[in-house]
Amino acid sequence: EPEVTQTPSHQVTQMGQEVILRCVPISNHLYFYWYRQILGQKVEFLVSFYNNEISEKSEIFDDQFSVERPDGSNFTLKIRSTKLEDSAMYFCASGSGTLEAFFGQGTRLTVV
């Protein structure tokens, strides 16, 4: 069964460093998302991406964040200068339309 895959599964980085989280969405999907979940909290929307551009973003998704679909298969989330409060599980999701989203296993980001 097709699935969304994310790498790495766990990333530890020092505060102020840049990180890139990678995702391979399901191949025929057109809508791509990033969500995050801080430990013990709700899953929160970060950004949606369609037709090679951001279609919607949350207040969390500030200038430190960017997304890219560099080669037609990968979908990346970059955090330019990580802060301690960026520590969370980051989930990539994709969908053929906007009604459904299929999530990856997540990348646990730990900022020290």
Q: Is 25 in the site for other proteins (CB under 8 A)?
A: no
Q: What angle do CA 110, 43, 47 make, to 5 degrees?
A: 85
Q: Is 50 in the site for other proteins (CB under 8 A)?
A: yes
Q: Is 48 in the site for other proteins (CB under 8 A)?
A: yes
Dist CA 32 CA 24 (whole Å): 10
Contact 43, 92 (CB under 8 A): no
Torsion 8-9-13-19 (CA) sign: positive
Backbone angles phi, psi at 63, to 5 degrees: -65, -15
Q: Is 69 in the site for other proteins (CB under 8 A)?
A: no
Residue 18 CB coordination number (10 Å): 11
Q: Which stretch binds other proteins (CB under 8 A): 12-20, 62-70, 71-79, 86-94?
A: 86-94
Out of 82, 87, 95, 109, point to the residue binding other proteins (CB under 8 A).
95
Out of 27, 42, 63, 72, point to the residue binding other proteins (CB under 8 A).
42
List of residues contacting other proteins (CB under 8 A): 4, 31, 33, 35, 41-45, 48, 50, 55-56, 58, 89, 91, 93, 95, 98-106, 108
